[in-house]
Chain A
Amino acid sequence: MKEFGGPAVFLDRNDINTDEIIPAKYLTEISKTALKPHLLEDLLLDGKPFDNQSDRMKQAKVVITRANFGCGSSREHAVWAFEVNDINVIIAESFARIFRQNMFNCGIVAIELAEDKLNRLFELGEEVTISVNLETCELQAKDSQGGKSFTLPFELNSFDRDLVAAGGWLAYADAKY
Chain B
Amino acid sequence: MGKTIAEKIFDSHLRDQPSPDNMILSLDVVMCHEITTPIAIMDLMEKGMDKVFDADRIKAVIDHVTPAKDTKTATQGKIMREWARRHKIKDFFDVGENGVCHALFPEKGFVRPGYTVIMGDSHTCTHGAFGAFAAGVGTTDLEVGIYKGVCSFRAPETMKINIVGELQPSVTAKDVILNIIKRISVNGATDRIIEFTGPVVESFNMSSRMTLCNMAVEAGATCGICLPDRVTAEYLWPFIRNDYATIDDAVNEYRQYHSDPDAEYVESLEIDVTTLVPQVTYGYKPDLVKDINEMVGTPVDQIYIGSCTNGRIEDLRNAASILKGKKLANSVRGIVTPATPLIYRQALEEGLIAIFMDAGFCVLNPTCGACLGMSSGVLAEGESCASTTNRNFNGRMGKGGMVHLMSPYSAAATALNGKITDPRDFL
The B-contacting residues of A in range 125-157, CB under 8 angstroms, are: 157
Contact partner, B143, options A97, A98, A159, A170, Cβ 8 Å = A170
Q: Which residues 313-365 in B have Cβ within 8 Å of A in the complex?
A: none
A74 CB contacts on chain B under 8 angstroms:
36, 119-122, 124, 136-138
Render B50-91 as a binary contact track against A, CB cut-off 8 A, 1 for contact.
Answer: 000000000000001100001011011001000000000000
11 contacts between A and B (CB under 8 A): A17-B393, A19-B393, A19-B395, A20-B394, A24-B374, A30-B79, A97-B222, A98-B136, A159-B152, A170-B47, A174-B49
Interface residues of A in 38-60 (CB under 8 A from B): 42, 44
Chain B residue contacts of A157, Cβ below 8 A: 19, 21-22
Asked if A1 is at the interface (CB within 8 A of a chain B CB), the reply is no
Is the CB–CB distance between A28 and B65 below 8 Å? Answer: yes
Cα distance A14–B187 in the bound complex, in angstroms: 10
Give min CB distance, B364 to chain A, whole Å. 17
Q: Which of B38, B39, B393 has the most CB of A within 10 A?
A: B393
Query: Sorted from nearest, which 5 A-B pairs have the closest CB atoms?
Result: A76-B138, A102-B138, A105-B140, A42-B395, A28-B72
A29-B72, A74-B121, A170-B147 provided; 4 other pairs, C-beta below 8 A? A68-B186, A75-B36, A79-B138, A106-B140
Q: Is the pair B396, A19 in contact by a Cβ cutoff of 8 Å?
A: yes
Any B CB within 8 A of the CB of A25: yes
- How many angstroms from the CA of A162 to the CA of B39 in the assembled complex? 24
Inter-chain CA distance A67–B191, complex, in Å, is: 13
Bound together, the chains give a CA A159 to CA B222 distance in angstroms of 19
Whether B144 sits at the interface, judged by CB under 8 Å, is yes
A30 pairs with B39, CB closer than 8 A = yes
Residues of B within 8 A of A177 (CB): 15-16, 24, 148, 150
A17 to B395, CA, bound (A): 11
Alpha-carbon distance between A97 and B141 when the two chains are bound, in angstroms: 13
Contact A42 B136 (CB under 8 A): no
B72 touches A158 (CB 8 A): no
Chain A proximity of B325: nearest CB distance (Å) = 36
Contacts of B124 in A (CB 8 A): 74
Contact with A along B125-161 (1 / 0, CB 8 A): 0000000000011111101100110101010000000
Given contacts A76-B139, A159-B18, contact A23 B35 (CB under 8 A): no
| Alpha-carbon distance A104/B70, docked complex (angstroms) | 33
Interchain CB contact under 8 A, A98 and B138: yes
Task: Say yes or no: is B230 at the interface (Cβ < 8 Å to chain A).
Answer: no
Are the CB atoms of B138 and A75 closer together than 8 Å? yes
With a CB–CB cut-off of 8 A, which chain B residues contact A176?
A: 16
Q: State A99–B122 Cα separation when bound (angstroms).
A: 10
Q: Is B372 in the interface zone, CB < 8 Å from A?
A: yes
Q: Is B190 an interface residue (CB 8 A)?
A: yes
List of A residues within 8 angstroms of B240 by Cβ:
none
Asked if B186 and A169 sit within 8 Å, CB to CB, the answer is no
B36 x A76 contact (CB < 8 A): yes
Question: Which chain A residues (7-40) contact chain B, with CB distance < 8 Å?
Answer: 14-15, 17, 19-20, 23-25, 27-30, 32
Residue contact B391 to A169, C-beta cutoff 8 Å? no
B122 with A25: CB separation less than 8 A:
no
CA distance A17 to B140 in the complex (A): 19
| Interface pair B36/A68, CB less than 8 Å apart | no
Give bound CA distance, A53 to B165, whole Å.
53
Kindly list chain A residues whose C-beta atoms are within 8 Å of the C-beta of B373. 23-25
Is A101 touching B49 in the complex (CB atoms < 8 A)? no
